[in-house]
Amino acid sequence: MTTAVEDPAGGLPLTLRIVQVVCFTFLAYLVVGMQLAVLPPFVHDDLGLGAVLAGLVISTQYVATLLSRGFAGRTSDTAGPRRAALIGMLACGASGLLMIVAALARGTPAISFAVMLLARLALGMGESCVATGCIMWGIGRVGSAHTARVISWNGIATYGALAVGAPLGVVLVSVGGFIMIGIAGLLLMLLALALAWRRPAVRVEAGERLPMRHVFGRVAAYGMSLALGSVGFGVIATFITLFYASRHWSGAAPTLSIFGVCFVGVRLLLGWTIAHFGGYRVALMSLLVECTGLLVLASAGQVGVAMAGAALSGIGFSLIFPALGVEAVARVSLSNRGAALAAYSVFVDVALGVTGPLGGWIVAGGRYAPMFVAAAVMSLAAAALTITLHLRHGGATRA
């Protein structure tokens, strides 16, 4: 077992102790956001490789994230979450370095594209290690009683970085060309490593390490509820622009901003409700609010109504992950909670991965209301599953 260094930050305010760790999630997801904004046009226009390969270079990261979740969780449990986070930062930094090489090789599109795929694989692995490592690192600093709060702040860091990273990537490319994406990513991760190296580790929990398949089995039902509840976010993020265009409306970007503001606002203002009322109850109410928002979107006949639907959806979606996550990780012992969090997170990866093609199939005829209704029905199914889990496990003694 790895010898851990006790964290001396106990005298600091609770939120500051959490933010000192989740700031590394923010820096890693800045790299993700910067690449996401500029990779498709670089592959499609600069390299001249077409839309299919432009899509492939984006999806490669998600595949790598999905496949490395187990490694990230088990590393957090056995070597410590700080180690997992540091490995993730190194991988994200390697992605930046490879992007520099890809930019320099743009004169040979095949080589540039191949290097870019390696960069995306490194970034996907880095993302999963940083996200899981930082959550477990934060929990180790403040105690498992504040699990929901750590997960909530980590989500704020994630989505805030994506929101900042996308426009930042566009600005960097306009100023210095595509190579700036790689340089910026490498520098950000060097900064993160320098800061993280100074942060002490937390105690590694002793105890039996369950096989990953057993951990997966214990959290699968919670993950399925999360997956069903994440479809609404997926269809809004993927199709709201096309939905507005089909109605000849403007304002798709502000609608996405409203969704994001509501998402972050609820996590900041109402994150405490999970500890107070319990994860099951908060998840149930959140899913019902999300369902209502999606139905409002489906029936929207004007922009204002659509924005209201997006706002309700953002309010509802905000606390689903941490609320169900608290209950999911409680199904295993402390020595397996990194693996449980990783297994639980897989479900949102899969849900967002299938939302694009599934939603595209539903709206193939140009009608978007059925897609939003379908997402609302999935939210209701998630609510029903959450009620079942609450009745089955809500009063059980936790592992």
Using one digit for the tens of pLDDT, what is the confidence trace for 244-280?
888 889 888 788 888 888 998 999 899 899 989 999 9
What tens digit of pLDDT does each residue of 14-42 get? 889 999 999 999 999 999 989 877 888 88
Instruction: Give the amino acid at 82.
Output: R
Give yes or no: residues 230 and 125 share one domain.
no
Residue 375 inside a domain? The answer is: yes
- How many CB atoms lie under 10 A from the CB of residue 89? 29
Give yes or no: residues 103 and 245 share one domain.
no
- How many CB atoms lie under 10 A from the CB of residue 276? 10
Q: What is the pLDDT of residue 145?
A: 84
User: Residue 374's domain spans which residues?
Assistant: 212-393
> Domain tally for the chain?
2
Please count the residues of the chain.
Answer: 399
Give yes or no: residues 338 and 299 share one domain.
yes
Give yes or no: residues 222 and 142 share one domain.
no
Query: What's the pLDDT band for 211 if we cut at 50, 70, 90?
Result: confident
Residue 165 has pLDDT above 80, yes or no: yes
Give yes or no: residues 262 and 294 share one domain.
yes
* Owner of token pair 């900042």: 164
340's CB contacts (< 8 A; 6+ apart) are: 73, 215, 218, 219, 328, 329, 331, 332
Q: What is the pLDDT of residue 11?
A: 58
Phi/psi for 22 (5° steps) reads -70, -10
Give yes or no: residues 194 and 216 share one domain.
no
Average pLDDT over residues 196-206: 83
- How far, in Å, are 59, 130, 252, 344, 387 from residue 204 at the CA level? 34, 17, 46, 20, 34
Task: Specify whether the CB–CB gap between 136 and 84 falls below 8 A.
Answer: yes
Sign of CA dihedral 359, 235, 120, 55: positive
Residue 20 inside a domain? The answer is: yes
Q: Which of 151, 174, 198 is the last residue of a domain?
A: 198
Give yes or no: residues 257 and 323 share one domain.
yes
Q: What is the pLDDT of residue 396?
A: 55
Residue 76 inside a domain? The answer is: yes
pTM: 0.82
358's CB contacts (< 8 A; 6+ apart) are: none
Give yes or no: residues 23 and 80 share one domain.
yes
Give yes or no: residues 30 and 155 share one domain.
yes
Q: What is the pLDDT of residue 294?
A: 97
Residue 269 inside a domain? The answer is: yes
Residue 1 inside a domain? The answer is: no
Instruction: Indicate the range of 145-159, 344-358, 370-384 predicted with least confidence.
Output: 344-358
CA distance 37 to 378: 29
Residue 204 inside a domain? The answer is: no
Q: What is the pLDDT of residue 256?
A: 84
Residue 207 inside a domain? The answer is: no
Residue 316 inside a domain? The answer is: yes
Average pLDDT over residues 359-375: 85
Give yes or no: residues 136 and 223 share one domain.
no
Give yes or no: residues 221 and 264 share one domain.
yes
CA distance 293 to 388: 23
Give yes or no: residues 17 and 44 share one domain.
yes
The CATH number linked to 150 is 1.20.1250.20
203's CB contacts (< 8 A; 6+ apart) are: 4, 6, 140
Q: Which of 198, 231, 265 is the last residue of a domain?
A: 198
Q: Which of 150, 174, 198 is the last residue of a domain?
A: 198
